[in-house]
């Protein structure tokens, strides 16, 4: 049938037509970067159809096969884009080869955020589930006296973006990966969404008219969520207050990440302004 617009399109969907397709675009990372916000903002677009839950296909469920994966997808009409997000793909060794073997043309989106605040946010999330874990400080260092940082701790490991990106570039050209700034997604959601819509080849339908800034949450929210007339902010688990972390520890982490950040800026041709 024709495009997604218009009565015919709506009717076709109501009649359960349209077909499930493998995703042409995937938000592959990063954890605590702003991936949920990006997906919810994108779903406002009439030509974007996305899976709500994270499928974790290319990291945890790969043995279930592509048919299983495809069945999770929403039905789409011609001209609509099927999407999913699973932020752990970015740090999964096997994911690039697996996605590439599904389709070399898959468009990849990575939402990145200052690795230090990302690590603290990651820790905060874990803390909310397991209140008795050790302090952030004690998990950060292999040895507090020597100041040696424990890079095996996933909260720190994930933020070494340059290292993970190298793995993806073995399978995908850099032009097929869009890097979204988690900070700008908050300060200028419409601007970042403009870049995303362009990258996906979509009409720029999502603009600043769609957002309002919620002062309580410190977040942009949608005036109308997908398929609803109510305003919609992200849920209670989003935008948690971070615990106070020793400034000396924060500084040590800034110094640790700096060379990796610089390398990442070089690789992507984007300065994210984290230093």
Tell me if residue 32 is catalytic.
yes
The backbone torsions φ and ψ at residue 108, rounded to the nearest 5 degrees and listed phi first, read -115, 140
What distance in Å separates the CA atoms of residue 155 and residue 140, rounded to the nearest whole number?
9
Query: Which residue shows structure tokens 């302090």?
Result: 135
- Contact 181/272 with Cβ under 8 angstroms? yes
**Strands 211-214 vs 177-181: parallel, antiparallel or unpaired:** unpaired
Residues 241, 118, 155, 121, Cα dihedral to 10°: 10
What distance in Å separates the CA atoms of residue 250 and residue 272, rounded to the nearest whole number?
18
- Contact 215/184 with Cβ under 8 angstroms? no
Catalytic choice (20, 31, 32, 104): 32
Q: What is the DSSP string of 83-122?
A: EEE-GGGGG-TTHHHHHHHH-TT-EEEEEE--HHHHHHHH
- Contact 74/47 with Cβ under 8 angstroms? no
Tokens of 74: 């929403």
| Length reported for the chain | 275
Write the CA distances from 79 to 21, 174, 263, integer angstroms: 12, 25, 37
Name the residue among 246, 274, 266 with its Cα closest to residue 123: 246
Binding-site residues sit at 32-36, 113, 121, 238-242
Binding-site residues for 3'-phosphoadenylyl sulfate sit at 32-36, 113, 121, 238-242
Residues carrying an active site annotation = 32
């Amino acid at each position: 049938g024709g495009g997604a617009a218009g009565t015919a399109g709506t009717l076709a969907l109501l009649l359960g037509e349209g077909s499930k397709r493998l995703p042409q675009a995937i938000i592959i990372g990063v954890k605590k970067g702003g991936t949920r916000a990006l997906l919810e903002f994108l779903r406002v677009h009439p030509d974007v159809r996305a899976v709500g839950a994270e499928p974790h296909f290319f990291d945890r469920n790969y043995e279930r096969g592509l048919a299983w994966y495809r069945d999770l997808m929403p039905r789409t009409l011609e001209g609509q884009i099927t999407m999913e997000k699973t932020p752990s793909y970015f740090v999964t060794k096997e994911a690039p080869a697996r996605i590439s073997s599904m389709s070399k043309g898959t468009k990849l989106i990575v939402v990145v955020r200052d690795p230090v605040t990302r690590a603290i946010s990651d820790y905060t999330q874990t803390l909310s589930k397991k209140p008795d874990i050790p302090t952030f400080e004690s998990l950060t260092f292999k040895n507090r006296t020597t100041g040696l940082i424990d890079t095996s701790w996933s909260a720190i490991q994930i933020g070494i973006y340059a290292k993970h990106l190298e793995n993806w570039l073995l399978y995908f050209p850099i032009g097929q990966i869009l890097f979204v700034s988690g900070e700008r997604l908050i300060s200028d959601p419409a601007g970042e969404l403009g870049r995303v819509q362009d990258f996906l080849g979509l009409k720029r339908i999502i603009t600043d008219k769609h957002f309002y800034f919620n002062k309580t949450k410190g977040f942009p929210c949608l005036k109308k969520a997908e398929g609803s007339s109510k305003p919609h902010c992200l849920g209670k688990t989003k935008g948690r207050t971070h615990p106070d972390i020793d400034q000396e520890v924060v500084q040590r982490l800034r110094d640790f990440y700096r060379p990796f950040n610089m390398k990442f800026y070089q690789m992507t041709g984007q300065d994210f302004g984290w230093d």
